[in-house]
Structure 1
Amino acid sequence: MTVVVLAGGQATRLPGKLARPIGAGNEPLVVRVVRQLTASGRPCLISVREPLPSDLAARIAAPVAVDRYQDAGPLGGLASATAQVQTPLTFAAAGDLANIDTTAIDELIERYESERARGESVDAVVPRHSSGQLEPLAALYDTKVLHDNAVRTLASGTKKVTGALHGMHIAYYDIAPDRVVLYHNVNTAADLSGVIAR
């Protein structure tokens, strides 16, 4: 399984947020996300619109996949990155999920394996809030299915990540109340208050 961290957004609500130092160690947000998701040694690929600044790249020990699709948002990043992923499964993560960690991946893999053991066909395990809101950028995917669906969805003129979910066999992972914090996005300066010290 490969972790793909999407770090190519324009961040209009909080410019420069992925390079923004947060937490006690003043670690750039994207560096923190990569560190937390690779703590158990899983391979990682960083999806970017353009090469990372050298000072930021030096702090991330992971290869970079530059978007092949112009202005296609996260879906373009997923299509570009999954073309390079060599493992059957991909965990796709937004680069602003400040609290996400390997336990989130472990839970989704456990659900995936449970479904497969029951003979179910599973293309994705997508976290779901009690409100019904999905977290497609904190989800586990069959790499080939995600790639093919992302490319097909972009070709149809749709750029929404949820568009690539159509036609997939999805197992939903209901997020427990005490796990909601893992899916906290940093979109504004106010969101920094929800970042867990690690």
Structure 2
Amino acid sequence: MPQPTLFINAGGQSRRMGRPKALLPTPQGTPLIRLVVDRLSPLAEDIVIVANDPSICAAMADTSARCLPDAYTDCGPLGGLATALAQVDDWLICVGCDMPLVSAHLFGRLLQLASEVDMDRAPRWDAVVPHAHGRAQPLHALYHPRCLPAVLAQLESGRRRMDSFFAQVRVLHVDEDTIRRFDPALESFANANTEEEWSELALRITASSTTPPPPPSP
């Protein structure tokens, strides 16, 4: 199995929310970003948070997470991904800071897929991207640092879509039926961009167990 780093993308400006999404108070009284960390840290060797707001880094100062400024400002999540990829030698577990129902069980399965090799024992994939709600979910995916040159090429050409580099790397797209075997209601992909969406999501957090499930057996 890979030895992944958990990457939490917290560099957005949260314009529609009006306040940093990473610091939204959960029903448990902790910042939202901590709930994301708690759920996925059992899978990770290291934790990297890309954030431009010093208050986000301050909120995580008592943890082992490394908090880095976005090296590619005004480039959206793709710039954050490039910043994180430059820090690692193995797979990144990529999630947004506003995805509190992420599942270690699901990501454990994605990591198993990421470790596939071909007949020559060479890695088969550079990215593993699940599909949910009828579309790819590049903000909830796995990326290997082999993707970095393609990501940088897109940024240099002014392209900022998270999937803009997919044609230049080997992407395993995991279909929605497979994802539902591990997350039947697709809860992992729930996020919030407005206060109204956050109110609804907070209720779902309360209804969900906040104890991260153990990683799947190899």
- One-letter amino acid matched to 1:183: F
Q: How does 1:109-120 map to 2 (within 5 A)?
A: 109-113=111-115, 115-116=116-117
Judging changes above 3 Å, is the alpha-carbon distance between structure 1 residues 63 and 128 closer, same or farther for their aligned structure 2 residues?
same
Judging changes above 3 Å, is the alpha-carbon distance between structure 1 residues 66 and 121 closer, same or farther for their aligned structure 2 residues?
same
- Note the alpha carbon deviations across 1:53-72, whole angstroms, 9 max, x for none: 56413354301121111211
Report the counterpart of residue 26 of structure 1 in structure 2: 29
- What is the DSSP-based 3-state SS (H/G/I as helix, E as strand, rest coil) of the residue aligned with 2:8? strand
* 2:136 alignment partner, one of 130, 134, 137: 134
- Does the 8 Å contact 1:125/1:140 carry over to 2? yes
2:187 maps to 1:184: no
State the identity as a percent: 27
Report the counterpart of residue 66 of structure 1 in structure 2: 69
- Judging by fraction of residues, say which structure has more strand: 1
Residues paired across the two proteins, number: 193
- Does the 8 Å contact 1:8/1:50 carry over to 2? yes
Report the counterpart of residue 215 of structure 2 in structure 1: none
- What is the DSSP-based 3-state SS (H/G/I as helix, E as strand, rest coil) of the residue aligned with 1:81? helix
Q: How does 1:1-198 map to 2 (within 5 A)?
A: 1-15=4-18, 16-23=20-27, 25-53=28-56, 55-85=58-88, 87-113=89-115, 115-116=116-117, 121-129=124-132, 131=134, 133-145=135-147, 147-174=148-175, 175-176=179-180, 178-192=184-198, 193-194=200-201, 195-197=204-206, 198=210
How far did residue 5 of structure 1 move? 0.4
- One-letter amino acid matched to 1:29: L
Counterpart CA distance in 1 for 2:192 and 2:64 is 23
- One-letter amino acid matched to 2:193: N
TM-score by length of 1: 0.87
- What is the DSSP-based 3-state SS (H/G/I as helix, E as strand, rest coil) of the residue aligned with 2:84? helix
Give unpaired runs (5+ residues) of structure 2. 211-218
C-alpha RMSD over aligned residues: 2.1
- Does the 8 Å contact 2:5/2:44 carry over to 1? no
Counterpart CA distance in 2 for 1:136 and 1:29 is 20
How far did residue 39 of structure 1 move? 3.0
TM-score by length of 2: 0.80
Judging changes above 3 Å, is the alpha-carbon distance between structure 1 residues 158 and 54 closer, same or farther for their aligned structure 2 residues?
closer
- Does the 8 Å contact 1:111/1:173 carry over to 2? no
- Does the 8 Å contact 2:22/2:56 carry over to 1? no
